[in-house]
């Protein structure tokens, strides 16, 4: 059987693969775009878009319950219609996916293949009964929820972030195993929908990659809404208890019994079933495809982008991977992964925006540093909105004035963080932020004030 030849093959129609197919096609290349599941990848179908649509519904319910705090009188208690919440979420996702499918269909030089791609050789892949070949192959196969081998885990009907999207009933008691970003977003939203929620984390604190003060405030935010949080929870096991699920942890404590269990314990790359060994593509011990600073794999002519390469686990890092590959191949612009600054958000309410180094990382580096911090109780806009949980913190190099990192945990934190992030990309010193005039009233207007009040980091 002869292989059909293309200029490029893109495996995975996610946040890097789809726009890259568009750029390559616009440059005159014939492109085969292969997707085994849903166009748009994790972000559109089970990640950012559907979950943030649900976060918006949860926020509306939360704000309605607080109506009296703002002098607003409602005729009765606030409830939610979970089926309508799910329908709204589904529409957001379906519309986004449909728009992508239309766009791909309009590319005259791009052929969409539905199926599972596996390498036959370094330049040939099989999709179903068809062989496709190209001198350039781009992998954007994403990742999936990790299901650790906890005792009893396969004896109970557990949920992951993906299967949560199909849930059509509101849990009476949701037990979330894991205390990081995905888990906490689900914990808060379902508490606001009316579920009893328990979070179980084996580490000493939630969001372990954050500074301890950030983790403490995040836990306080969740507990203030009635979420039960257990940290230092060792020896986790699961078992059926009638129609419910019992989660046992930390010897001596009684089990927590709930109606549903969500496993949110990290993600693994979708690289184990691509036939990478036949192509000679190297992976690391965790299964991530090994890439260089321009996302080239160990095999010439093969690139890896997005969650499968271990260089980031966010939509924005995946899209930036596309930009780096396209810039190098098509624009004679030598962009690199190492050029980017770590930045991300946690979409609880209030949200956390983070960029650059944490305080712990700065201390570990041994640099002389300056730090400034302000609680949201001293931010006028937060007080006016009645949303004063959280704080802002900025770190700078004491010798050079380089901005090292920033944390904004509070209203608009996911947006305000970009004030600092953009200055970091511009390599502007902290004095530039200190001299800036921001708009009043706004959360970000206090960032220059903090920059003027920096003190040595002990």
pLDDT band at 343 (very low <50, low <70, confident <90, very high): very high
Pair 236, 116 in one domain: no
Pair 139, 225 in one domain: no
Pair 54, 141 in one domain: yes
Pair 123, 25 in one domain: yes
- Residues 402-446 pLDDT 10s: 999 999 999 999 999 999 999 999 999 999 999 999 999 999 999
pLDDT band at 2 (very low <50, low <70, confident <90, very high): confident
Domain end residue (candidates: 214, 244, 265):
265
> How many CA atoms within 13 Å lie on the side-chain side of 115?
14
Pair 169, 253 in one domain: yes
**CA separation for the pair 406, 429 (Å, rounded):** 13
- Residues 369-393 pLDDT 10s: 999 999 999 999 999 999 999 999 9
DSSP one-letter code for 66: T
273: domain CATH number is: 3.50.50.60
Compute CA distances 374 → 156, 188, 194, 213, 378, whole Å. 45, 25, 33, 12, 7
Pair 240, 107 in one domain: no
Helix, strand, or coil (residue 306): helix
Pair 133, 210 in one domain: no
User: Which pLDDT score, from 0 to 100, does residue 207 have?
Assistant: 97
Total number of domains in the chain: 3
**CA separation for the pair 64, 68 (Å, rounded):** 8
Domain end residue (candidates: 303, 320, 339):
339
Pair 218, 116 in one domain: no
Pair 134, 273 in one domain: yes
Domain end residue (candidates: 294, 324, 339):
339
Residues of the chain with pLDDT > 70, as a percent, come to: 100
Residue tagged active-site, from 62, 316, 418, 440: 440
- Residues 94-152 pLDDT 10s: 999 999 999 999 999 999 999 999 999 999 999 999 999 999 999 999 999 999 999 99
Span 313-321, mean pLDDT? Answer: 95
- Residues 260-279 pLDDT 10s: 999 999 999 999 999 999 99
User: Which pLDDT score, from 0 to 100, does residue 318 have?
Assistant: 97
User: Which pLDDT score, from 0 to 100, does residue 352 have?
Assistant: 98
Pair 433, 325 in one domain: no
When the pLDDT of each residue in the chain is averaged and rounded to a whole number, the result is 96
Provide DSSP, 372-399. Answer: EEEEGGG-HHHHHHT----EEEEEEETT
Span 62-89, mean pLDDT? Answer: 96
Helix, strand, coil percentages, rounded to 5, for the chain: 35, 25, 40
Pair 321, 290 in one domain: yes
Pair 287, 185 in one domain: no
Any catalytic annotation for residue 418?
no
pLDDT at 252 over 80: no
- Joined together, the tokens standing for residue 432 give 């530039």
User: Which pLDDT score, from 0 to 100, does residue 313 have?
Assistant: 86
Span 189-197, mean pLDDT? Answer: 98
User: Which pLDDT score, from 0 to 100, does residue 287 have?
Assistant: 96
Span 320-338, mean pLDDT? Answer: 97
Question: Tokens 């002389």 label which residue?
Answer: 368
In 288-357, DSSP assigns E strands to 302-304, 343-346, 352-356
Per the structure, the complete domain to which residue 90 belongs is given by 4-145+268-339
User: Which pLDDT score, from 0 to 100, does residue 447 have?
Assistant: 98
Q: In terms of C-beta distances under 8 Å and separation of at least 24 residues, what long-range contacts does 42-45 make, across chains too? A: 42/14, 42/15, 42/142, 42/143, 42/307, 42/315, 43/14, 43/15, 43/315, 43/318, 44/93, 44/96, 44/97, 44/100, 45/93, 45/97, 45/165
């Amino acid at each position: 059987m002869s292989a059909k030849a293309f200029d490029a093959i893109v495996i995975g129609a996610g946040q890097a693969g789809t726009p890259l197919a568009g750029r390559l096609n616009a440059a005159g290349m014939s492109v085969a775009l292969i997707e085994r599941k849903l166009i748009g990848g994790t972000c559109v179908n089970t990640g950012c878009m559907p979950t943030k649509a649900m976060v918006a519904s949860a926020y509306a319910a939360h704000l309605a319950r607080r109506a009296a705090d703002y002098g607003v009188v409602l005729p009765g208690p606030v409830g939610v219609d979970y089926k309508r919440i799910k329908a709204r979420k589904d529409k957001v996702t379906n519309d986004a996916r449909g728009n992508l499918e239309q766009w791909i269909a309009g590319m005259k030089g791009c052929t969409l293949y539905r199926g599972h791609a596996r390498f036959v050789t370094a330049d040939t892949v099989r999709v179903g009964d068809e062989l496709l070949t190209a001198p350039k192959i781009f992998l954007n196969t994403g990742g999936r929820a990790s299901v650790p081998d906890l005792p009893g885990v396969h004896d109970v009907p557990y949920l992951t972030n993906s299967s949560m999207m199909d849930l059509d009933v509101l849990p009476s008691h949701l037990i979330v195993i894991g205390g990081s970003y995905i888990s906490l977003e689900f914990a808060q939203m379902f508490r606001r929908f009316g579920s009893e929620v328990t979070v179980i984390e084996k580490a000493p604190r939630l969001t372990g990659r954050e500074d301890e003060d950030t983790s403490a405030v995040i836990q306080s935010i969740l507990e203030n809404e009635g979420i039960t949080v257990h940290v230092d929870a060792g020896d986790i096991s699961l078992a059926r208890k009638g129609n419910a699920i019992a989660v046992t942890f930390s010897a001596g404590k009684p089990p927590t019994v709930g109606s549903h269990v969500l496993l949110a314990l990290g993600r693994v790359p979708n690289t184990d079933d691509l036939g990478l060994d036949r192509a000679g593509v190297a992976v690391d011990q965790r299964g991530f495809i090994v890439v260089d600073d321009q996302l080239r794999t160990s095999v010439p002519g093969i690139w890896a982008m997005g969650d499968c390469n271990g260089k980031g686990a966010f939509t924005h890092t995946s899209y930036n991977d596309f930009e780096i590959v396209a810039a190098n191949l098509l624009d004679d612009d030598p962009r690199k992964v190492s050029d980017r600054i770590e930045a991300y958000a946690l979409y609880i309410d209030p949200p956390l925006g983070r960029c650059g180094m944490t305080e712990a990382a700065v201390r570990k580096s041994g640099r002389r540093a300056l730090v400034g911090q302000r609680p949201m109780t001293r931010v006028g806009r937060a007080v006016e909105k009645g949303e004063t949980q959280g704080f802002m913190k900025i770190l700078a190099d004491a010798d050079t004035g380089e901005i090292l990192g920033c944390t904004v945990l509070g209203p608009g934190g996911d947006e305000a963080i970009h004030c600092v992030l953009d200055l970091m990309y511009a390599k502007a010193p902290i004095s530039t932020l200190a001299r800036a005039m921001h708009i009043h009233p706004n959360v970000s207007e206090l960032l220059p004030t903090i920059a003027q009040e920096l003190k040595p980091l002990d």
